[in-house]
Structure 1
Amino acid sequence: MKKFDVLNWQIVPKMKLWFTISIIVILIGVAGMIINYVRVGSPVILGLDFTGGTILDLKFEKPADVGASRDILKSFGLGDAVIQVAQDGRLIVRTNKPLKTNEREKIFDSLEAKFGKLDRESIRVETIGPTISDELKKNGAIALGVGLLFIFIYITIRFQFRFAVVTVLALIHDVLVTFGFLALIGQELNSPFIGALLAIIAYSVEDSVVVLDRVRENLKILKGKMSYAEIVNKSICQSVTRSFNTSFTTFLAILALILFGGATIRDFSFTLLFGILSGTYSSIFIAAPLLVVWDKLSKHEIEEKPRKAIAPQPATVAVGSGSGEVVQKEESKSTRRKKKNKKKKKKGKRR
């Protein structure tokens, strides 16, 4: 079996394949967002932190029933509430509007009449008002925008403008892929998601900077000896082992959080895990190959211009001279015709 040579991996020549894979994944994610928008009115399922409302986590003497619970909540104008029953029989209710204390007590009394005594020591109530949820959305968008702006400025100063552009495009790729994945699996997004998204961006930038820094160093050494595409491909191959090792160790750490970290940070860890995988892919297969596309566009080499048709060469006649030298005479058909016509005219004059 032939051993795979990482240093000679042809990544840039196959960049159309990598771009196609990314486009397909993004389109699948967009389809999931469209489905969510039709179902719940939002591309992704926003949690309590972003929508506002109340979560009730209740434990009764008897196991709770979703149908009976919904009938009781409808009488309070909460027919659109999300109702779940946990494996231990606990009733989890999420409403889209904040509930006041007296409203909660009335709901508790009605549910107690149906499912027995409520264990008031284990009640969990979380309420977030619409003002707080709107502020969280605003602050999250600002944090994301400011982060991308600072990254763009830093890479422009540290490297080149084109390096900054391809890095931000790779980050947008990671954000779209992550949102699409979360839309497909139906995961709720709460305030920890903002932290996970910023961590994904930071990790992806770190990976991209390592590859781009190698490109910059190789351009100084190999410019004129190799083509731009070959230099970029060589730089990626020199960095891919480091990127894989870093991603793999981070993957193991996050996997441990998912398995043993508990439900509180599981959503955060799961988002971070998928985002880091996407960031590793984009730094190797998207960001650096985009530099080659930029270079070709700047030189107008994306499509090779059709060659002009070669005009037919006039006939060549070899005539030997007395000294043995060969003299080449090129005569077109029109020239020969003119000579014949002149000879005919001369003969006519003599007669």
Structure 2
Amino acid sequence: MLRIFHNSRYEFVKHWRLAAGLTIAFIVAGLVTFGITGGVNYSIEFTGGTLMQVQFKQAPDVAVIRSTLDKAGISGTEIQQYGAATEYTIRARDEKQVEAQAAGAEGISKEIGAALEQQFGAGNVTIVRTEAVGPKVGGELRSGAFTAMVLASLFTLIYLAIRFDWRFGAAAVISTAHDILVTFAFIKLFNFEVSLTVVAAILTLLGYSANDTIIIFDRVRENLRKPHRGERLAAILDRSINETLPRSIMTHATTLAATLALLFIAGEVIRPFAWVMAFGVFVATFSSMYVAGPILLWIESRYPREADDATARAVRKGNEPVPPAANGRSERLAAR
């Protein structure tokens, strides 16, 4: 059987400063973008409004589409190319129009369709799909999405607190929170529209990232129960990551392959979900190796556990790995 990265001996923990610098720079870039361009780009599902996907027989001029809708009294529309040069999405989110949709959500979509047929001719414009959401429903969906993310985080925290010592649980929760922050920065930097599918991707990433960290921490806990010969916690963390590396590589590779298939084949509707998940695979891998471990080291250095077992002695010795050869020499000198 082919085994990838079998018996690897990479040192991960010692690069935590570089990892922290990259993470902070990326999050700051996202915050700066928030300050410059404003808040999150919510979809019709959260803001309320009408979304139409239309297909023309010949590639139209975007300026003509916009002027046609303005003449029909539908102002403030967002027009974007959607895949081919003949396909476009039209978003109508004007405040007055959204309020009007509370009574009849399909009214504006009919007005848009009639205006386009009058300008480009009957049969030259096809309405592929229409989504219309009233302002009240949009607000409820946004509130529900936020509640779902908070509850998922809370249940993850409870599970980790029960499954691990609180030090491990706290490190895993902080690592997962890091993944969510970096993902939000990614969404903002690339101006992805936050829809229900993107929220689903974030919730999936929440569980995926926590699972990856839990697997490594399980191996750390097993290794801490073994005789250490003076091995420090940083070395135990590195060894645990290397021991789970073959499994992690195979899991991330297969997940990424499925995600890339969605990204390039599944179409525009599912593409934001695929983008967030593809990015999330890399973020989850990064945080489980370079974020969760160093945070655990810091927590253990500040709040060492009180016990006279090998685990506590390994923790209290510090955070830098000690070469086994050096340990052996020290033990021989002590014996003399």
1:160 is the counterpart of 2:157: no
Tell me which of 33, 41, 63 is aligned to 1:45: 41
CA distance in 1, matches of 2:46, 2:114: 29
How far has the Cα of 1:64 moved from its partner? 3.1
Q: Indicate which of 135, 153, 158 corresponds to 1:130.
A: 135
Q: Which residue of 1 aligns with 2:92?
A: 95
Aligned length: 295
**Counterpart-to-counterpart distance in 2, 1:45 and 1:25:** 19
The SS at the match of 2:270 is helix
C-alpha displacement at 1:103, in angstroms?
A: 4.2
How far has the Cα of 1:63 moved from its partner?
Answer: 4.4
The reply to whether residue 196 of structure 1 matches residue 201 of structure 2 is yes
Q: Is 1:58 the counterpart of 2:47 in the alignment?
A: no
Letter of the 1:19 counterpart: A
CA contact (8 A) 2:117 2:125 kept: no
**Closer, same or farther in 2 for the Cα pair 1:185/1:107, shift >3 Å?**
same
Instruction: From the superposition, tell whether residues 296 and 66 of structure 1 become closer, same or farther in structure 2 (CA, over 3 Å).
Output: same
Q: Say which SS state the counterpart of residue 194 (structure 2) adopts.
A: coil
Matches within 5 A, 1:179-218: 179-218=184-223
1:229 to 228, 234, 237: 234
**Residues 109, 130 of structure 2: 8 Å contact kept:** no
TM-score calculated relative to the size of structure 1: 0.75
Supply the distance in 1 between the matched residues of 2:174 and 2:276 (Cα, whole angstroms).
Answer: 20
- Rounded to whole Å, the distance in 1 between the matches of 2:56 and 2:6 is 63
Greater RCO, 1 or 2 (C-alpha within 8 Å, sep 6+): 2
- The root-mean-square deviation of aligned C-alpha atoms, in Å, is 2.7
Give the match's secondary structure for 1:82.
strand
Q: CA deviation at 1:210?
A: 0.8
User: 8 Å contact 1:215–1:231 — kept in the other structure?
Assistant: yes
Q: Hey, what does 1:331 align to over in structure 2? A: none
Q: Does the residue aligned with 1:21 lie in a helix, a strand or coil?
A: helix
| CA deviation vs aligned residue, 1:186-212 (integer Å, no higher than 9, x gap) | 211111112111111111111101111
1:269 matches 2:274: yes
Matched, 1:72 2:97: no
- Distance, in Å, in 2 between the alignment partners of 1:70 and 1:194 is 30
Verify: 1:15 aligned to 2:12, yes or no. no
Cα 1:114/1:267, change in 2 over 3 Å: same
Aligned equivalents of 1:260 and 1:158: distance in 2? 39
- Residues in 1 aligned to 2:89 and 2:15: alpha-carbon distance in whole angstroms: 50
Give the counterpart letter for 2:37 in structure 1. Answer: N
Change (3 A) 1:118 1:84: farther
Point out where structure 1 has 5 or more consecutive residues left out of the alignment. 303-351
Question: Aligned in 2, Cα 1:62/1:284: closer, same or farther, shift over 3 Å?
Answer: closer
Contact 2:52 2:127 in 1 (8 A): no
CA contact (8 A) 1:47 1:189 kept: yes
- Residues 179/110 of structure 1: CA separation in 2 closer, same or farther (3 Å cut): same
- Most deviating of 48-57 and 111-120: 111-120
Check 1:71–1:13 CA distance in 2 against 1; reply closer, same or farther (3 A cut). same
1:84 aligned to 40, 58, 80, which one?
Answer: 80
Q: Percent identity among equivalent residues?
A: 31
SS in 1 for 2:281: helix
Cα distance, 1:59 vs structure 2:
4.1
Distance 1:151 1:91, change over 3 A: closer
User: Per the alignment, do residues 234 and 90 of structure 1 end up closer, same or farther by CA in structure 2, a change over 3 Å counting?
Assistant: closer
CA distance in 2, matches of 1:280, 1:169: 15
Residues 232 and 289 of structure 1 are in contact (CA less than 8 Å); yes or no, is this contact kept in structure 2?
A: no
Q: Which amino acid aligns with 1:113?
A: Q
Per-residue deviation, 1:61: 6.0
Q: How far off is 1:295 after superposition? A: 1.6
